[in-house]
Chains A and B, each alone.
Chain A
C-alpha cells in the first residue's frame, strides 16, 4: 500500500540504495538539521534530526527540552539538556525544521497524493 502514494524514483547522485521516493529523499535532506518537536503534554524538544522509522518515531540528538512552568498558557518556559531521545509518533503533535524562507516554500509544496 505504500507504493500507491509516491512512485519510487532513482535518486540522482544521492543515496546509495538507488530506489527511493521523492518524499523520502526530501526527508533525508532534513537529517542533522535542527528540528523542533511538540508533544501532547505541551513540551517541546529541540534537537538534531537523527532518525525516523516507518511508524513516524523520531530520534533527536543533543536535545533541549522546553516546558512551561504553569498549566495556564502563556507561561515562562524552563529548559534543560537531555541528549539523545526517542519521540514516539503517538505523542507527537507538531514538527518543525529550521530553514530559510525559500526552502520553506519548497518543503511545503507536497505533490498531490
Chain B
C-alpha cells in the first residue's frame, strides 16, 4: 500500500484511476472495470448480480450519486471552505474602499436576517444562516470589529434560539430546525459578544453625531468617519445603527425570556418594543440603500437585501454535506420584506406571551394557549411559550402541578399539600397535565395526533383513580374526609378535562381541513355528543365546588338545555350550551338534507360511511368517549331528521338567544365577545337558510346548498343558492 501511495504521488495523472486510499493488509487494489464491463455484456436485460441477502426494496432506498436531489457531496463551485476562502469568496475586509466595505456589510446583515427567518420557518441552519462563510470561520473576522461583532452576536442568537426549540421539543415535525452538527455555534465566548457590539455601536453613534455637526459648522473632529463619502455618511451610519441595535435587543429579548419562572418577561417586552422600532428604522433605510447601490452591481434576484445587491460571502453548497443524512433540499431564502414581516409577527407573538399574567390557574393557561394558537404562531414563539408554561414540572416553574389540579377541581387550599398527591395515579395525572400543556403548544397536525392518542391515557387514569378511590373509601356516597373530597372532585375534573381534549381534537380537524363537506353531519353530531358531556361535567364540577352540586346527575341534558329555568347554571356552561345547540342544529340540518335527498353523499368506491365514521372517530371510540357511542347510535339518532320537525326545534334560535344573553357576562373580555358574536352570526345565518330550505318544499335541483367556514373556525354556515 505504501507503494501505491508513492505511485500516486509520482504520477498525479493516475490519481483518478489509482486512489491513495489504502487497501487491506497484504492486499492490493485490483482494477476490475474490464471484468465488470465484460460480465455486464453477458447479462440479460433486467438481470442483476447480487448476493442471497439482496432486497430490491431496500436497494431502492440507495442514494443515487450525482443526482442533485440526493447527492449532497456533489462538487460545486468550491471543493471546500478553505478553497473558497483562498479564492477570495469571503474577503476581510470586504473591500479596501471603506464605502464599499460598509455597503457590503449592510448587504450581509440583510441577507443574514432573511436567512434567519427562513431557518425559523423550518429549513436547516446549515443551508440558511450558516451559508455565510464569515460565520463558519469565527477567527477570520477578528480584525474587523463591525463584521466580527455582528457575526458573533448572530452565532450567539442562533445558539439561544436553537436551545429553546430543542429543549421544548415542539419541533417534532420540523426537526430540520435543530440540526446543527458541525457548525460553529458557540465558538468564541458568546458572553463577550455584547461588549464588542456596544463599543462598535458607540463609535458609529459618534461618527453619526460628527457628520451631523460637521455639515453645519464644518468643525474638523478627531473622529475618523465611517467611510469616505461625506454625502453618504449619515445614511450609512443610520442604516448600520438600526441593524446593530435590532440584533442587540433581539439577543437581550431571548435572554430575558429564558429567565426562570417568567422573571424576565417585563424586561423582554421592553426589548420587543425596541426591536419593533428598529425594524421600522431598517425599513426606512431601504430607500437610501437602494439609491446608493452601485448600478453595476450584481442583481439580487431573490431580493434578500434592502439595497437589492447580491451579498458577498454566502455559499449554501459548501456545507450542505453537514446536513447528512438528509439529502440536500432546494430552499428559497425569504426576500427581505418577507423576512422583516416574519420578525414583526414573531415579536408580536412573543409580546403576547410576555404579557400573560401567569395566573396560577390551569384552566386559564390552557385557554391562553388555545387563544394564542389561533393566530398560527410559528415554531420559535410556540417553543418559548412551552418553556414558560412548564418549568421543572411546575406551572411557570412556580406552582406545583398537584395544587394546580386541586384548584382546577374546585378544592379548598387545604387540599394542595395533601398526601394523596403521592398516590401513583395522582402522580400519573400530574404528568399527563404536563404533557397536555406541552402538546397544545405544538403545531396543529402534531397536536391533533397527540391529543387523540392521549385521550386513552386520560381515560385509563380516570378508571385507575376511580378504583383507588373505591378501595380507599368503599361505596359510601358521602364522607366529610378531605381525602374523599379530593378524589371526588378530581374524578369529575378528569372527566371534564378528557372531554375538553376530545372537543379540541375534533375542532382542530377543521383547522387542518380533515373533514370533507360530506363528513360534516357525523362530525357535528359527534361534537354535539362531546359538548353535552363536557357541559355536564363542567356543571357538576362547578356545582361541587360551590356546594350546590347534586351528588349524582341524572340525564343532565334536559336540565342543561333549559337554561332559562335553571339560574344556577354558570356562564361558562351556558356558553357551552349555545355551542351545543349550534352543533346539534347543524348535525340535524345536514341529516335532514341527506334524508330528504337535497344533498347526495358521494358514491365512493373506497370507503363506506361506516368506514369513514371509524376513521374519523377511532381514537374517541377507543377511549369510550362517551360510553356506548357507535356508528349505529349515529345512524339511529339522525335517521328521523327532516325539515318539518327541524324548523320546530329552533336549535339555531336558541343558540342565538343564549349567545345574546351571555354578552353581559363577558363584557370585559373582548375575545369572548367576538366569539359570541360569531356564534350569533352563524346561528342567525343558519336559521335563515333553514327557513328558506323548508319553504322550498319539494327538493328543487336548481337550488344548491353548500357550507362555508367563513364566519367561524369550526361552525359552518349554510349557503342556499339558486343556479
Identify the A interface with B (CB < 8 A): 1-3, 5-6, 8, 21, 23-24, 26-28, 30-32, 34-36, 38-46, 50-56, 58-59, 65-71, 73-75, 77-78, 80, 82-88, 91-101, 103-104, 107-108, 110, 113
- The contact of A108 among B31, B46, B78, by CB within 8 Å, is B31
B63 in contact with A84 (CB, 8 Å): yes
Docked CA distance A44–B75 (Å): 12
A94 in contact with B31 (CB, 8 Å): yes
Chain A residue, CB-CB nearest to B32: A97
B34 in contact with A110 (CB, 8 Å): yes
A54 in contact with B74 (CB, 8 Å): no
Confirm or deny: B28 has a beta carbon within 8 angstroms of a beta carbon on chain A: yes
Q: Which of B76-96 contact A (CB under 8 A)?
A: 78-80, 82-83
A74 in contact with B8 (CB, 8 Å): yes
Set of chain A residues within 8 Å of B36, measured between Cβ atoms: 27, 52, 56, 58, 95
Chain-A contact segment, one of B54-62, B171-179, B491-499, B709-717 = B54-62
A51 in contact with B48 (CB, 8 Å): yes
- The contact of A104 among B30, B43, B75, B83, by CB within 8 Å, is B30
A sample of 23 cross-chain residue pairs with beta-carbon separation below 8 angstroms, ordered by A number, consists of A1-B41, A2-B41, A23-B42, A24-B49, A27-B32, A27-B35, A34-B23, A36-B19, A41-B74, A42-B75, A52-B39, A53-B46, A54-B47, A69-B82, A69-B83, A71-B78, A71-B83, A73-B15, A94-B33, A96-B31, A96-B32, A97-B29, A107-B32
Known contacts A6-B38, A38-B17, A67 near B75 by CB under 8 Å: yes
Set of chain A residues within 8 Å of B38, measured between Cβ atoms: 5-6, 23, 110, 113
A94 in contact with B28 (CB, 8 Å): no
Docked CA distance A101–B18 (Å): 16
The 10 closest A-B pairs by CB, nearest first: A69-B80, A96-B29, A21-B42, A104-B30, A86-B62, A27-B39, A51-B50, A54-B43, A23-B39, A84-B62
Set of chain A residues within 8 Å of B143, measured between Cβ atoms: none
Set of chain A residues within 8 Å of B24, measured between Cβ atoms: 34, 98
Query: How far does the Cβ of B61 sit from chain A's closest Cβ, in whole Å?
Result: 7
A31 in contact with B51 (CB, 8 Å): yes
Known contacts A21-B39, A38-B16, A71 near B30 by CB under 8 Å: no
Query: How far does the Cβ of B614 sit from chain A's closest Cβ, in whole Å?
Result: 38
A27 in contact with B49 (CB, 8 Å): yes
Chain B residue, CB-CB nearest to A92: B33
- The contact of B321 among A66, A80, A113, by CB within 8 Å, is A80
Confirm or deny: B702 has a beta carbon within 8 angstroms of a beta carbon on chain A: no
Chain B residue, CB-CB nearest to A78: B80
Confirm or deny: B668 has a beta carbon within 8 angstroms of a beta carbon on chain A: no
- The contact of B29 among A3, A36, A50, A71, by CB within 8 Å, is A36
A88 in contact with B65 (CB, 8 Å): yes
Chain A residue, CB-CB nearest to B58: A84
- The contact of A93 among B16, B28, B39, B42, by CB within 8 Å, is B16
Chain B residues bordering chain A, tally (CB within 8 A)? 58
A31 in contact with B35 (CB, 8 Å): no
Docked CA distance A101–B204 (Å): 71
Set of chain B residues within 8 Å of A88, measured between Cβ atoms: 64-66
Chain A residue, CB-CB nearest to B30: A104
Query: How far does the Cβ of A108 sit from chain B's closest Cβ, in whole Å?
Result: 7
A91 in contact with B66 (CB, 8 Å): yes
Query: How far does the Cβ of B342 sit from chain A's closest Cβ, in whole Å?
Result: 33
- The contact of A85 among B21, B50, B64, by CB within 8 Å, is B64
Docked CA distance A52–B33 (Å): 12
Docked CA distance A50–B50 (Å): 6
Chain A residue, CB-CB nearest to B33: A95
B30 in contact with A96 (CB, 8 Å): yes
Confirm or deny: B605 has a beta carbon within 8 angstroms of a beta carbon on chain A: no
Set of chain B residues within 8 Å of A104, measured between Cβ atoms: 28, 30
Confirm or deny: B628 has a beta carbon within 8 angstroms of a beta carbon on chain A: no
Docked CA distance A35–B48 (Å): 17
Docked CA distance A107–B38 (Å): 12
Confirm or deny: B205 has a beta carbon within 8 angstroms of a beta carbon on chain A: no
Docked CA distance A74–B79 (Å): 13
Set of chain B residues within 8 Å of A28, measured between Cβ atoms: 49
Kindly supply a per-residue 1/0 record for chain B positions 561-590, scoring 1 wherever the CB is within 8 Å of any chain A CB and 0 otherwise: 000000000000000000000000000000
**Most A-side CB within 10 Å, residue of B32, B35, B54:** B32
Query: How far does the Cβ of B578 sit from chain A's closest Cβ, in whole Å?
Result: 58
Docked CA distance A41–B35 (Å): 23
Known contacts A38-B19, A54-B47, A80-B324, A70 near B79 by CB under 8 Å: yes
Kindly supply a per-residue 1/0 record for chain B positions 148-170, scoring 1 wherever the CB is within 8 Å of any chain A CB and 0 otherwise: 00000000000000000000000
Set of chain A residues within 8 Å of B30, measured between Cβ atoms: 96-99, 103-104, 107-108
B59 in contact with A99 (CB, 8 Å): no
B8 in contact with A50 (CB, 8 Å): no
- The contact of B23 among A5, A67, A98, by CB within 8 Å, is A98
A41 in contact with B66 (CB, 8 Å): yes
- The contact of A71 among B12, B31, B79, by CB within 8 Å, is B79
B8 in contact with A99 (CB, 8 Å): no
Confirm or deny: B9 has a beta carbon within 8 angstroms of a beta carbon on chain A: yes
B47 in contact with A86 (CB, 8 Å): no
Set of chain B residues within 8 Å of A41, measured between Cβ atoms: 66, 74-75
B39 in contact with A51 (CB, 8 Å): no
B62 in contact with A85 (CB, 8 Å): yes
Set of chain A residues within 8 Å of B324, measured between Cβ atoms: 80, 82
B80 in contact with A70 (CB, 8 Å): yes
Known contacts A45-B65, A52-B48, A84-B62, A98 near B39 by CB under 8 Å: no
A50 in contact with B51 (CB, 8 Å): yes
Chain A residue, CB-CB nearest to B80: A69
Chain A residue, CB-CB nearest to B72: A82
- The contact of A56 among B18, B23, B40, by CB within 8 Å, is B40
Docked CA distance A86–B71 (Å): 10
Docked CA distance A78–B34 (Å): 29
B28 in contact with A99 (CB, 8 Å): yes
Docked CA distance A76–B525 (Å): 69
**Most A-side CB within 10 Å, residue of B31, B321, B325:** B31
**Most B-side CB within 10 Å, residue of A73, A85, A95:** A95
Confirm or deny: B357 has a beta carbon within 8 angstroms of a beta carbon on chain A: no
B16 in contact with A94 (CB, 8 Å): yes
A54 in contact with B66 (CB, 8 Å): no
Known contacts A36-B29, A52-B40, A99-B27, A31 near B16 by CB under 8 Å: no
Query: How far does the Cβ of A107 sit from chain B's closest Cβ, in whole Å?
Result: 5
A46 in contact with B64 (CB, 8 Å): no
Confirm or deny: B37 has a beta carbon within 8 angstroms of a beta carbon on chain A: yes
Query: How far does the Cβ of B656 sit from chain A's closest Cβ, in whole Å?
Result: 62
Query: How far does the Cβ of A9 sit from chain B's closest Cβ, in whole Å?
Result: 10
Confirm or deny: B45 has a beta carbon within 8 angstroms of a beta carbon on chain A: yes
